Structure 1
Amino acid sequence: MSGRGRAAASYDVVIVGSGFGGAVAACRLSAAGRSVLVLERGRRWDPATFPRRLRDPWLFDGRVPHRRNGWLEVRWLDQMLVGLGAGVGGGSLIYANVCIDARPETFRSGWPSAITAAELEPHYRAVGEMLRPTTVPEGQHPVRLDLMRRAAGELEDGARFRKVPLAVSFREDLVLDGAAPPGLGASMEFLNAHGVRQGTCVHCGSCDVGCPVRAKNTLDMNYLAEAENSGNATISPLSLVRTLSREPGGGWRVHYDHLEDGRRRPDSVVARRVILAAGSLGTTELLLRARDDYGTLPGLPRALGRGWSSNGDFLTPSRHRGQVVAPTVGPTITSAIDHLDGDRGRRYFVEDGGLPNLFRNAYEARLRGGGGTSWQRWYWERLARAGELRTVMPWFGQSIDAADGVFRLRRSRVRPRRKVMKLNWNPYRTETVIVAMAAEHERLAKATGGDVLPLASWKWLRALATPHPLGGCNMAAAPGAGVVDHAGRVFGHDGLYVMDGSVIPRAIGRNPSKTIAAVAERAVALLLEEPEQRRIE
């Protein structure tokens, strides 16, 4: 148990998770004088501990979290690969910095009537004030940004091109070659508004694997820092919640394991209220286990686990012979072409994708070492013939998928006594939008002299990957249609809330982090208007 102080026996609020919902809740509740404990399964990371070498702690393994509690969890569910952050700051540690509002029409269907673009506007503004998003300054455009702009112009979509707002601190006077980063020494250190030392961006390409100069405005540098500064919040890393139950005298008991020192040490804490903010997969699984495995909350809504979305994510790389694209230089995403208005039957949001510099290093090492299977060697050699990784452009896109995935607990085939979470996901129900987006990626590539490299995982297996899981504890007007109401209150369970991506009831089609945070800002504001519950002893 770490953080600023050890956990007490009881709190006003226990928050499970420290991502875009949990961090908002911790900040606003502690500022209002509530005692708060944040239980985070991952570590507290900093530039000195970010994984960099192959032997470093890269992966978090939920089967043995006391032994493997690294930077990233990768879960394979049916025909879907999901990437999840693990650490204080949650998904902000691994996301691509994009801090953008959803389009207003997003809220016209599928949401409770109380949630509208106008209703969320002040909460979006509050998130912006904390995360300070801005676009890449002129004179610092990576090659990818200019290639995107050129592609949009060639396809007569120049009006749809835009630089996207990023939660990154830039040095305005820095001028650089878009194909080469200037080095870490070009970063300018400053003290942010929350008393945290940061630096300015040096375009090193490491946004997704830990910014070495702390230019990325991750949640531990703002919302969570503010919570700890209040003196009312304790953040407990390496604390994995197993389940929760009602206390006979009122309130809730949260059962969790300490993961320090390679062991799992059981513990529990009592709170008046509990906010689940472990993300789409984490919160959904936690509640499914409470209902269908541990049996501590048998009355949870039947809609639990339904309505899951991958946010329509899809990636297509292309190679551009004779051109330097430099995908490892610059922030991971810098620009977009927006077709979400449905014009010409298109509904997707295409972004330039970057690759961590570490990927380039691993790729070059693989070429030198000659290891791997024959298929892997063929793939690396194919990239080499394309002019190495510097010629590759990753086209990333998001769209409006069917949002009809269903999570359930099932017996493990390997360990029948153990239940595992399974996803029922039919990619063919989303195939139309993915095929349309893949075709757009190909048009963009060809317009800039590139040839696409279709992913075999989609071409042959119809398998997808997403860093933007949404839903599972969907927000709805009534318990028959969802798990929580418009304020994140779990139907039929007073004092239990959900504030994370699991409440988002449909695909957003844009990077969802700012919307998740804005919905949480609104939910916390409504929670603070509720009458105080009596103290739990």
Structure 2
Amino acid sequence: MTEKLIHYPTIVIGSGFGGAVAASTLVDAGEQVLLLERGPWRDSEAVREAGIERRASLPVGRKALTHLIHRVSLPGILGKGQRLSSRGLFDLHLDTDMTVVCSNGVGGGSHVYSAMNTRPQESDYWDNHVDGVSSESMDDHYAWMLDRMGARVPDAQVQIPNWTPGSFAESKDFVADEDLPQPALSTRMTGEQEDYCNNSYFGSANGAKATLDRVLILPAMEKGLQVAAEQECLSLWMLPGGGYRLEVMDHRIKRRRYLTADRIILAAGTLNTLRLLFHSRAIGGLKGMPALGLGISGNGDSVAWWALNEQGADFSLGTPTHGRFALRDAGTGKAMPGPYITRFGFNGVNTLPLPKWLKARLRRDAILVGMGRDRADGVALWKRGRLKFRYIAQNNGILADIQAFFAEVARRSRKPVRFLKNQPLTVHPLGGARLAANERDGVVDGTGQVYGLPGLYIADASALPASPGMPPSMTIAAWSRHLALGMTANKKRTPRPRTAPKRSRKPAHV
């Protein structure tokens, strides 16, 4: 017997900064929305209080062995790679030209991001791409999201452990004074010890760091948003009469399901969005998209290990990032021009099943993260069912600039700074389905709709037209907000689902 298709007016695929913003915005406007997420709900205070019964632990204690890695993609593995654990928090995509780390779970990258909420490096980032989209028109969307995330720049009265303005106040080599703007942070800064530990790379079980499940998704469920966790969209098929059919793997029961929708908002994260588009086109479900894969960027991401081994220090304490710093000019005492560099500790090391001596050493070392505008000139390719990147690091001078900064930090501090010189690693993959004025140069138009595929929208970082050069979460959110509000501006009455589940705070079983 053929399973009856369940129809929804709108399905959002992915629950990160693109998907969560789009879904909550549409629900606020009275739309009926199903949010699909391939990963599980994470076991945090907010999720437990909401009555979500099926939860996955963050990778803490022995659970780090089973809940750390979700999927690994290697050059020799076809398809999406090897799935190690349905509970895993991270995906690793290892490629010759660029390695990518991304996350898995309801709330997307907000669980593992550094809580830095910033606008693009250049104030005219959105200008001169397409009609109807400008930096001025995006301004309200940034302000809305910063407010929702409770983002604020720490002031001098807040005593944050390892905050760079305090750490380098007397340094002759480094500076983090008022002339070097610090990022707004979405994290509690009450002075309580629990606010300053175990709230970074491996999630925030106590909710000190603002995550999208708590801030946007759970409140939207109170207004009717349906959330289906552990449901991975495998392919999209455009229907002859309009709308789309979705092939979905229900990872809870290991069974495929099929849904239909009038419109789809694709926000599965850059890698998964590109995989879904390439695969669906290859099997005949979608058509067109001649510019698919163009404009790949790593946002200039560069990571280094600063082997300070500073006795008595505990760099694992603090906000998810310790803040920004720069090299001090010996003549003027001011910050020297250079790339955007932040310092981190190994926040969360206490939760890992590591030997005591190793934990102690990790607390005495720091991590440096640099980023900046690269040329976004990489290309994503689809070969034998596998996503591959072509990205020439030597073409992107920002990477060399950041590595020169790392080398100077090592020279001045007389402590080793170790980094991979020839292997770009990013946690901010961008582009591949970018915004452009026509389908030759990009995949989506100024409304976020895919050229030639009415009703299919892209709301995540794959649609960004260029590298923002700063943490992109707020830029993704601003784009998604723009897209969703555009849908509701002159909306017609949306038909009710032909088979609709009851509204509930619990995930919908679709």
TM-score normalised by L of structure 2: 0.84
For residue 230 of structure 1, report the CA deviation from its aligned partner.
Answer: 0.4
Q: CA deviation at 1:410?
A: 0.9
2:510 equivalent to 1:510: no
Structural mapping, 1:483-498, within 5 Å: 483-498=443-458
Q: Contact 2:33/2:226 (CA < 8 Å) preserved in 1?
A: yes
**1:297 Cα offset (Å):** 0.8
| Counterpart position of 1:380 | none
Rounded to whole Å, the distance in 2 between the matches of 1:155 and 1:163 is: 15
**2:484 — aligned with what?**
524
The CA deviation string for residues 177-218 of structure 1, in whole angstroms up to 9 with x for no partner, is xxxxx3x4xxxxxxxxxxxxxxxx2x1143221213111110
In the alignment, which residue of structure 1 is the partner of 2:149?
131
1:392 is aligned, of 356, 360, 365, to 365
The 3 A distance-change label for structure 1 pair 108 and 420 is closer
Q: Deviations over 1:333-380 (max 9, x none)?
A: 1322489xxx99956211112223337855545859xxxxxxxxxxxx
Residue of structure 2 in register with 1:415 after alignment: none
Contact 2:235 2:280 in 1 (8 A): yes
Secondary structure of 1:122's partner? helix
Rate the CA distance shift 1:128–1:338 in 2: closer, same or farther, 3 A: farther
- Between stretches 140-149 and 277-286, larger displacement belongs to 140-149
Match of 2:342 in 1: 351
1:325 is displaced (CA, Å) by 4.5
Matched to 1:38, the amino acid is: L
Instruction: Kindly provide the CA deviation profile for residues 226-248 of structure 1, in whole angstroms up to 9, marking residues without a partner as x.
Output: 210102x1100000101111223
- Map of 1:170 onto structure 2: 189
Cα distance in 1, alignment partners of residues 435 and 235 from structure 2 = 21
Counterpart for residue 332 of structure 1? 320
Q: 1:102 aligns with which of 120, 124, 135?
A: 120
Residue in structure 1 matching 2:284, options 295, 313, 316: 295
- 1:236 pairs with 2:248: no
Q: What displacement does 1:159 show?
A: 5.0
Quote the Cα distance in structure 2 between the aligned partners of 1:146 and 1:229. Answer: 41
1:6-85 pair list within 5 angstroms: 9-47=6-44, 49-52=57-60, 53=62, 54-61=64-71, 62-63=80-81, 65=83, 68-85=86-103
TM-score by length of 1: 0.80
The corresponding residue for 1:204 is 197
**Kindly tell me: are residues 71 and 108 of structure 1, through their superposed partners in 2, closer, same or farther at Cα, counting changes over 3 Å?**
closer
Structure 1 residue 466, shift from structure 2 partner: 1.0
Match of 1:310 in 2: 298
| Letter of the structure 2 residue corresponding to residue 98 of structure 1 | M
For residues 145 and 528 of structure 1, do their structure 2 counterparts lie closer, same or farther at Cα, with a shift above 3 Å needed?
same
Taking the TM superposition and a 5 Å limit, the aligned residue runs for 1:102-121 are: 102-107=120-125, 111-112=129-130, 114-121=132-139
Shift of 1:523: 1.1
Q: Aligned equivalents of 2:482 and 2:182: distance in 1? A: 27
Q: Residues 272 and 347 of structure 1: is their aligned pair in 2 closer, same or farther, counting only changes over 3 Å? A: farther
* Corresponding position: 1:273 with 2:239: no
Q: How does 1:429-448 map to 2 (within 5 A)?
A: 429-430=395-396, 432-447=397-412
- Residue 146 of structure 1 and its aligned partner are, at CA, apart by 4.0
3-state DSSP class of the match of 1:161? coil
Alpha-carbon separation, structure 2, partners of 1:410 and 1:250: 29
Q: Provide the aligned C-alpha RMSD in A.
A: 2.9
Tell me, in whole angstroms, the C-alpha distance in 1 between the residues paired with 2:272 and 2:171: 38
Distance 1:238 1:345, change over 3 A: same
Out of 518-527 and 433-442, give the one that drifted further: 433-442
Rate the CA distance shift 1:345–1:210 in 2: closer, same or farther, 3 A: closer
Q: Return the offset for 1:152.
A: 8.0
The 8 Å contact of residues 281 and 472 in structure 1, kept in 2 or not, is answered as: no
Q: Given the alignment, which residue of 370, 375, 393 partners 1:427?
A: 393
Percent identity of the aligned residues? 26
Of Structure 1 and Structure 2, which has the larger fraction of its residues in helix?
1
CA contact 2:151–2:184 (8 Å) conserved in 1? yes
- CA distance in 1 between counterparts of 2:203 and 2:336 reads 38
Q: Please, which moves more after superposition, 222-231 or 130-139?
A: 130-139
Q: Could you report, residue by residue, the CA deviation over 1:250-281 in whole angstroms, capped at 9, with x for unpaired residues?
A: 211111110014x2x11111111100000111
Q: Which of these residues, 196, 219, 223, is aligned with residue 226 of structure 1?
A: 219
The aligned counterpart of 1:142 is 161
Whole-angstrom CA distance in 2 between matches of 1:240 and 1:508:
29
CA distance in 2, matches of 1:255, 1:151: 59
In the other structure, the counterpart of 1:286 is: 276
What secondary structure, in the 3-state scheme, does the structure 1 residue paired with 2:69 have? coil
Q: Alpha carbons of 1:144 and 1:120: their partners in 2 closer, same or farther (altered >3 Å)?
A: same
Partner amino acid, structure 2, of 1:354: G
Amino acid in structure 2 at the alignment position of 1:349: Y
Alpha-carbon contact 2:200-2:348 (below 8 Å) kept: no
Gaps of 5+ in 1: 1-6, 176-181, 185-200, 369-386, 412-418
